[in-house]
Amino acid sequence: MRIATWNLERPSVRSWRKLPCQLEQIAAINADVWILTETRASIQPSAEHCYVVHAPPHSDRRPDEDERWVSIWSRFPLEDAGIEASPRGTVAAVVDSPLGHLALYGTVVPWHSEPSPDGVVRPWSVHAIELQRQAGEWRNLASRFAGVCVVGDFNQSWQGRGYGTRALRATHHDAAQGAGLVCLTAGEVSDGLPVIDHVLLSRVWVDRFSARVAATWPGRRDDGTRMSDHAGVAVDIDEN
């Protein structure tokens, strides 16, 4: 099973110049499960991806019912994971995969300058608060499912230098450890920079199966065409 994630940088309803390139890249990766972030409900990876769950429409951005923080698309059936989708941009489902049931949690953790509810920007404050909330849901899933996969835009490099702070990286590591998760994409780099979109998988599944990074691709094509401000990542999980 291949699981991939990519932030599509909010394709505009007025300008779809990025979308054909994005869809070509998505087709080339050929993932069974896609966690698309800053996306639109109408952007379907392929006709084969006929199972989907979306985060609710944005409550604090432009009034566009099609725009979503997170969508999980799958070639395999999806079931309810018992976690309420958040308007801030998290959604969960259980995929009935060839390897067994795997609880998927799609996320966008806030960026460094996201305003608080009172409209004030306190760098990384909303990020830290939302991460604490999400970490509780990761632990909830881990208490109920042997296999959990937390995927999406973490707005944080996982190790070394890069986007984020040393303190927040430690908080991310603690949150993952508390839910028994391993970051498969910790050392991935694109265009010389650490990726900030990640795939975390239960240690039980890491020990049981062969789990590895299958692909990392930049936000620009070789000809310079911009597709996104994020790199994308994909991982393969196979029988040993």
Domain that holds residue 84: 2-238
pTM: 0.96
Instruction: Name the band, by pLDDT with cuts 50, 70 and 90, for residue 167.
Output: very high
CB-CB contact of 201 with 173 (8 Å): no
The predicted-structure confidence for 30-65, as pLDDT tens digits, reads as follows: 999 999 999 999 999 999 999 999 999 877 666 678
CA 210 to chain CA centroid, Å, is 20
Give residue 12's pLDDT band: very low, low, confident or very high (50, 70, 90). confident
* Tally of structural domains, the chain: 1
Q: Residues 45, 50, 53, 59: is their CA dihedral positive or negative?
A: positive
Report the share of the chain in percent with pLDDT over 70. Answer: 96
CATH code (residue 209): 3.60.10.10
User: Over the chain, what is the mean pLDDT?
Assistant: 94
Interval 169-175 mean pLDDT? 98
Tell me the residue ranges of DSSP E strands in the chain.
2-7, 33-40, 51-54, 67-74, 78-80, 90-97, 100-108, 148-153, 181-183, 189-190, 193-194, 197-202, 210-217, 232-238
Model confidence over 193-235: pLDDT tens digits?
999 999 999 999 999 999 999 999 999 999 998 999 999 999 9
